[in-house]
Amino acid sequence: MLALHGAGVSDGIAIGKAFVLERELPPLPQYEIAKHAIDAEVARFRGAVDAARQQLASIRTHIPASAPAEAMSFIDTHLLILDDKMISEVPVEIIRHERRNAEWALRSQSDELVAMFERMDDVYLRNKKIDVNQVVERVLRNLLMETPEQHEALSAGGIVIAHDLTPADTVMLKHKRVRAFVTDMGGPISHTAILARSLGIPAVLSVHSATRFIRHGEDLIVDGKRGVLIIGPDTRTLQEYRRLKQRILERQRELNRLRRSPAITLDGKRISLFANIELPADVKAATQAGASGIGLYRTEFLFMNRVGSPSEEEQFRSYVKVVKAMPGKPVTIRTLDLGADKQVDGGRGDAPASLNPALGLRAVRLCLHDTALFRPQLRAILRASAFGRVRLMIPMLSSQDELFRVLDLIEEVKHELRREKQKFSRKLPIGGMIEVPAAAISADLFAPYLDFFSIGTNDLIQYTLAIDRVDDAVSYLYDPLHPSVLRLIRLTIEAGRRARIPVAMCGEMAGDPRYTRLLLGLGLNEFSMHPATLLAVKRIVRESSQKALAGSAARTLKLLTTRNVHAMVEKLNSGLDAH
Ligand code: PEP
Ligand code: MG
């Protein structure tokens, strides 16, 4: 028995078998093809080459105009290599004449090509072997994708062990019955951690040596609360964890009784508890938890793991699905927040990464830069607004100019829709996310032009405390109770109150029951979170008086050190059942 420690980012206990996801190419299969199966094997090979071509073309369309010229020529080189007969035709001959499987045929051909480049005197040409290898690897990955064994292991409810999981990887795992995640890398507010919480499954990140110590099929226990991973547990430990799991289940059953109870404080304030969703399918969990609506729909997940962007029509259908599943309730559709760690291809594409992607062309900046990407989404959201209480929300606002440009674009799109006699709500509320310190500091300047604010604490903390969300080396600095963060939250709530617009919070802080009382005391009335945490927050709302908390919350803001703030918040929470 061996225990490893990491950051517990999603509560719960999982007991099951390890499924190790390999980032490296696995050993390539080698087998002979029966005569009658040759045509099918050739078709499989051509399919993988076509997919590679489409992937490269898609990466090409997403390269911003401001990127260095080499970025484009890099992709063009790969496209040329892919279309070269040596790569796209010779393996077909090998399959036909030597009856080898596609992977084997391609690898033996590429080995010869690489050897040929290595013999060249010209350094430039010699280095071309790197490009050849990258193109070949892309085709091989397409050939190996989703082998039946992988599919089976994941569907059987394995515990996924990976070096790192991008948000694109994680959202793909949503469709499988994965029991838990463990990764070598990652921090508590990375989107991978957020997705684990939204799946409601235990997760331990930044274990560092997980992929080194764990083998496929090994028995594991994952304790997502304590951040512990036990490899090969003995019978006593297993029994102990089974009991613990049972207790958690019982507590959850108790919480489920609150599903239909209103979220009203002891002093009679009605609090809105909204759900955060990533995909239309998540709406089910939101309604099951009794959410008052959707406070954050992260639409960028619709754009991931695919070739090309979804059309206006496809987006429209996805949004309408969510709206119809929430009749009479608000559905807050956030415009695209792509960039930083949320890359369409999971960051594995060949487009050069910017040096500081979190500070780069992300979210609304990317949308304003590439209006061909933005317009269809605006049209789809507006059209969906004819079917229910849609609210549109803009992420990562940092200047008023940016906001005005988006508002102008929305007006243009409305004009277009009117001309086309398409229906949309004339009163579609437009809100802004307050997640960049600049926006929080001047929230009063944004308020007159917006219908609501939503505080994105994940990014607000990242940018205020200068800690990269995905860098686990600095995740120890992540603290929602840092006095600077609390001041920015208060500033935003105050600006909203003065301008008489609602202020919500949709970052992870809103779904963490440890902060519910403090936030209520600061005057927050709308919380948006993963459905899995909604009832725990509701329980606290019902056991708290907002009026009584206001004084202590105000005093918290006068404290000089983070340690004192933590002590004060613990005092605020005393008397609550510790879960
Ligand atoms: C946030 O930043 O708090 C937020 C809700 O958005 P995301 O986590 O998707 O960046
Ligand atoms: Mg954000």
pLDDT in tens, 95-127: 999 999 999 999 999 999 888 888 887 776 776
Q: Which residues contact 235 (CB under 8 A, 6 or more apart)?
A: none
Question: What pLDDT is recorded for position 29?
Answer: 83
Question: What pLDDT is recorded for position 214?
Answer: 87
390 vs 383: CA distance, rounded Å:
10
343-348 mean pLDDT: 50
Residue 215, phi then psi, degrees to nearest 5 = -110, 155
- Which of the pair, 473 or 91, is modelled with greater confidence? 91
Domains of the chain: 2-22+156-255 (3.50.30.10), 35-143 (1.10.274.10), 271-546 (3.20.20.60)
197-209 mean pLDDT: 87
Q: Shortest CA distance to 200 belongs to which of 134, 286, 258, 119?
A: 286
| Six token digits for residue 382 | 């507006």
Question: What pLDDT is recorded for position 409?
Answer: 98
pLDDT at 346 over 50: no
pLDDT at 490 over 80: yes
How far are the Cα atoms of 186, 347, 423, 450 from residue 344, in angstroms, in the given order? 19, 7, 30, 29
Ligand 2 centroid distance, CA of 557 (Å): 24
Which residue type occupies 220? L
395-402 mean pLDDT: 97
359 vs 344: CA distance, rounded Å:
18
Question: What pLDDT is recorded for position 348?
Answer: 40
HEC per residue, 471-534: CHHHHHHCCCCCHHHHHHHHHHHHHHHHHCCCEEECCHHHHCHHHHHHHHHCCCCEEEECHHHH
Question: Ligand 1: which of 506, 508, 524, 527 to mutate, judged by most atoms within 8 Å of the beta carbon?
Answer: 506
Which amino acid residue places its CA nearest to atom 8 of ligand 1? Answer: 458
Question: What pLDDT is recorded for position 347?
Answer: 42
pLDDT in tens, 204-234: 999 988 888 888 788 999 999 999 999 999 9
pLDDT at 459 over 60: yes
388-399 mean pLDDT: 98
Q: Shortest CA distance to 356 belongs to which of 471, 508, 488?
A: 471
Ligand 2 centroid distance, CA of 300 (Å): 12
Question: Ligand 1: which of 190, 278, 298 to mutate, judged by most atoms within 8 Å of the beta carbon?
Answer: 298
Ligand 1 centroid distance, CA of 457 (Å): 7
Half-sphere exposure of 531 (CA within 13 A, CB side): 23
Residue 353, phi then psi, degrees to nearest 5 = -75, 145
390-404 mean pLDDT: 97
Question: What pLDDT is recorded for position 174?
Answer: 62
| Closest ligand 1 atom number to CA of residue 455 | 3
Question: Ligand 1: which of 299, 335, 337 to mutate, judged by most atoms within 8 Å of the beta carbon?
Answer: 337
How far are the Cα atoms of 51, 295, 330, 394 from residue 389, in angstroms, in the given order? 39, 12, 5, 17
Beta-strand (E) ranges in 118-191? Answer: 159-162, 180-183
355 vs 390: CA distance, rounded Å:
36
What is the sign of the dihedral through the CA atoms of 398, 400, 401 and 403? positive
Q: Shortest CA distance to 204 belongs to which of 4, 66, 378, 26?
A: 4
559 vs 544: CA distance, rounded Å:
22
Half-sphere exposure of 323 (CA within 13 A, CB side): 21
Q: Which of 44-58, 166-180, 335-349 has the highest mean pLDDT?
A: 44-58
484 vs 493: CA distance, rounded Å:
14
| Six token digits for residue 82 | 């892919």
Q: What's the pLDDT band for 349 if we cut at 50, 70, 90?
A: very low
Cβ < 6 A, ligand 1 pocket: 194, 296, 298, 337, 435, 456-459, 506-507
Question: What pLDDT is recorded for position 138?
Answer: 83
Question: What pLDDT is recorded for position 350?
Answer: 43
- Which of the pair, 69 or 320, is modelled with greater confidence? 320
C-alpha 56 chain-centroid distance:
23
Ligand 2 centroid distance, CA of 95 (Å): 49
483 vs 517: CA distance, rounded Å:
16
Ligand that lies nearest to the alpha carbon of residue 334, given by its number in the listed order: 1
Question: What pLDDT is recorded for position 579?
Answer: 45
Ligand that lies nearest to the alpha carbon of residue 190, given by its number in the listed order: 1
Q: How many residues does the chain have?
A: 579
Residue 17, phi then psi, degrees to nearest 5 = -100, 145
Ligand that lies nearest to the alpha carbon of residue 489, given by its number in the listed order: 1
Question: What pLDDT is recorded for position 353?
Answer: 60
Q: Chain-wide mean pLDDT for the chain?
A: 89
72-86, 341-355, 392-406, 528-542: least confident range: 341-355
pLDDT in tens, 513-569: 999 999 999 999 999 999 999 999 999 999 999 999 999 999 999 998 999 999 999
89 vs 106: CA distance, rounded Å:
10
478 vs 462: CA distance, rounded Å:
8
Check: pTM over 0.85? Answer yes or no. Answer: no
pLDDT in tens, 251-306: 999 999 999 999 999 999 999 999 999 989 899 999 999 999 999 999 998 887 66
Q: Concatenated DSSP letters for 30-84?
A: --BPPGGGHHHHHHHHHHHHHHHHHHHHHHHHTS-TTS-HHHHHHHHHHHHHHHS
Contact 221, 15 (CB under 8 A): yes
pLDDT at 341 over 80: no
253 vs 8: CA distance, rounded Å:
23
CA torsion 357-363-364-370 (nearest 10°) is: 80
pLDDT in tens, 407-434: 999 999 999 999 999 999 999 999 999 9
pLDDT at 3 over 80: yes
Give me the active site residues, please: 191, 506
Q: Shortest CA distance to 187 belongs to which of 519, 465, 395, 535?
A: 465
| Owner of token pair 């080396």 | 473
Question: What pLDDT is recorded for position 364?
Answer: 96
Ligand 1 centroid distance, CA of 526 (Å): 16
Question: What pLDDT is recorded for position 541?
Answer: 98
182-196, 376-390, 415-429: least confident range: 182-196
